[in-house]
Amino acid sequence: MPAGANGGPYAVTVDGTGRVFANEIQTDTVAMLDPKTEQFQVFKLPSRNVGIRKAIVDAQGRYWYMGSHNGRLGVIE
């Protein structure tokens, strides 16, 4: 994972194209692995101490998450 051993990967989900999303709970980031390119893209969350524990990717490819630490719903488009 991009954040390394201290990233704390959590809440893994896969979209319809096979991209793998994982929250790095300790760094307030979401890492997306594209299996076609074998490259990660990292998204910094807009808030600190989010604590994503559940996430989904909708039919349009948007990553929806609920922050268990901050009580906020968020989306990465």
Domain around 9: 4-76
Contact between residue 24 and residue 68 where contact means Cβ atoms under 8 Å apart: no
Confidence (pTM)? 0.87
Task: Tell me the CA distances in angstroms from 48 to 28, 61, 69, 73, one per residue in order.
Answer: 6, 24, 9, 13
Q: How many residues does the chain have?
A: 77
- Residue 49 sits in a domain whose CATH number is 2.40.10.500
Structural domain count of the chain: 1
- Contacting residues for 69 by C-beta, under 8 A, at least 6 apart: 49, 50, 51
Tell me the per-residue pLDDT of 30-69, one tens digit each, with 9 for 90 and over. Answer: 999 999 999 999 999 998 999 898 999 999 999 999 998 9
CA separation for the pair 6, 25 (Å, rounded): 9
pLDDT score recorded for residue 6: 82
